[in-house]
Structures are given as structure tokens and as C-alpha cells.
């Protein structure tokens, strides 16, 4: 009777397991998923490129990234090579923006004015600062406002949440990526630079910064065993 009871229990669990697998986003589960690509070794390899006293080392985690990723099913949802290139492109820009996940907040960011007073949809809170925070260093009141509305936090009145909640921090980076960058991936890595900071860096604006992003990208493509493709610069 014990064996029969065990069989019944297993039969009861099978639908639950199947349902759980269905509910897990495709970009997090399965072969060649983003979770398979962004292994502990890959993620920690980025962290280890930064110096030992970096605040980001105790803030940015692979678990926080994967938790944030569950809200963005289209990230890394292409073919195996396309997924690897998107991961490489995302983390290349992240590594450049944060010094290999070293910085949570922009250095001397509080001294910068990132308030666009012409944007009436997302008016600045005069007591808050909208300098760079998070993996892609989210800036400007209109980005904080829109990201907050999409993700579910008060971006205009509590922008510091991006620097205190690691999952929301990664969500802002993925929100910005999926809103502004994902759609230009087929144009080459250079298009991702243009979408993120093209007005300042591209067309000779800051060739050193462009080269830094390209170096990270080619390094990560090599690690992931995928060709970087054409049009690397902007």
C-alpha cells in the first residue's frame, strides 16, 4: 500500500510540475536561455573585474538580475547566437557604465542637473536628483518617471530606490534596454551605443568610451562563443 500511495503522490505532483514549467518565462528556463548564458561564472567574472572595495559587489547579484529578467520575456528570446549577442551587448554597456558593476550611483552625480523642466508629463521633484543609478545609470526625470510607472515604483519622488533595491535596479536597466535598445540589435553593437549615449559618444564625440564598450562586448562574445557581428562602432 505504501508503494501505491507513493505512486498516487507522484501522479498528483506531475501536473503541478508541468504548470510551474509553463509559468516560468522562456528567457529564464530551458536550453540556451538567458539563465544558461548568464552563469555564475559569467556574472561573477564581470564583478571580479572591478576592484575589491566596490559598493556594487555587495549590491549587484545574478539572482537579482534573473528576478528582474522574469518581467522582460523578450530579452534574449532570439536564436541561440542572437541571445548570446544580446547578453554580451547588454553586459558590455553595463560594464562600461558601472566600471564592471562597481558603481551603483554616478560619481559626483549629485552635482549634475538632470532635470528637464520642459517635460510636463514627468515633472521634477525639486528635492530629488535624477543622476545616474543602476546597471545602465538611469538618468533624467522623464526616464525615472516612465521607468517607475512601468515597473511599479515612484521614480520621480523616490529615485534613490534604484540604488537601494537591486531587483528594481536591474529592472530599470532592462526597461531602458527593451524600450530603447532591443529593437536596434539587428543593426550591430554600434547601434546599442548610439541608443544609450550616442549624442555624447558617437560620431567622434568620445571615441575612448566607444572603444571601451566595444572591448567589453568582444570579450563577452568570445567568452560565450559567438561571433560579435558587424558594425561594432558608432
Instruction: Give the residue numbers marked as catalytic.
Output: 97
All cell numbers assigned to 170: 536591474
Across 23-155, the runs of DSSP E, i.e. the strands, are none
Query: What are the CA-CA distances from residue 26 to residues 73, 116, 201 (Å)?
Result: 7, 38, 34
Q: What is d(CA 49, CA 214) in angstroms, rounded to the nearest whole number? A: 16
> With contact defined as beta carbons under 8 Å apart, do 166 and 173 qualify?
no
Burial group, residue 72, by CB count within 10 angstroms (0-12, 13-18, 19+)? buried
Euclidean distance between CA atoms 182 and 179, whole angstroms: 7
Amino acid at each position: 500500500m505504501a508503494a501505491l500511495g507513493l505512486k498516487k503522490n507522484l501522479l498528483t505532483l506531475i501536473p503541478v510540475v508541468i504548470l510551474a514549467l509553463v509559468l516560468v518565462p522562456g528567457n529564464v528556463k530551458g536550453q540556451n536561455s538567458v539563465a544558461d548564458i548568464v552563469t555564475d561564472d559569467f556574472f561573477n567574472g564581470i564583478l571580479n573585474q572591478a576592484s575589491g572595495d566596490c559598493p556594487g559587489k555587495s549590491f549587484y547579484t545574478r539572482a537579482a538580475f534573473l528576478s528582474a529578467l522574469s518581467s522582460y520575456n523578450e530579452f534574449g528570446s532570439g536564436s541561440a547566437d542572437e541571445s548570446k549577442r544580446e547578453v554580451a551587448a547588454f553586459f558590455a554597456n553595463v560594464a562600461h557604465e558601472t566600471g564592471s558593476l562597481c558603481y551603483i550611483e554616478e560619481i559626483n552625480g549629485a552635482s549634475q542637473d538632470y532635470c528637464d523642466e520642459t517635460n510636463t508629463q514627468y515633472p521634477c521633484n525639486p528635492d530629488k536628483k535624477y543622476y545616474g543609478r543602476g546597471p545602465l545609470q538611469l538618468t533624467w526625470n522623464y526616464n525615472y518617471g516612465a521607468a517607475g510607472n512601468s515597473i511599479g515604483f515612484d521614480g520621480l519622488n523616490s529615485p534613490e530606490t534604484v540604488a537601494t533595491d537591486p531587483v528594481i535596479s536591474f529592472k530599470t536597466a532592462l526597461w531602458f534596454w527593451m524600450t530603447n535598445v532591443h529593437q536596434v540589435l539587428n543593426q550591430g553593437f554600434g547601434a546599442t551605443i548610439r541608443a544609450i549615449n550616442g549624442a555624447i559618444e558617437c560620431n567622434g564625440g568620445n571615441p575612448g568610451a566607444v572603444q571601451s564598450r566595444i572591448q567589453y562586448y568582444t570579450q563577452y562574445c568570445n567568452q560565450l562563443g559567438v561571433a560579435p557581428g558587424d558594425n561594432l562602432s558608432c
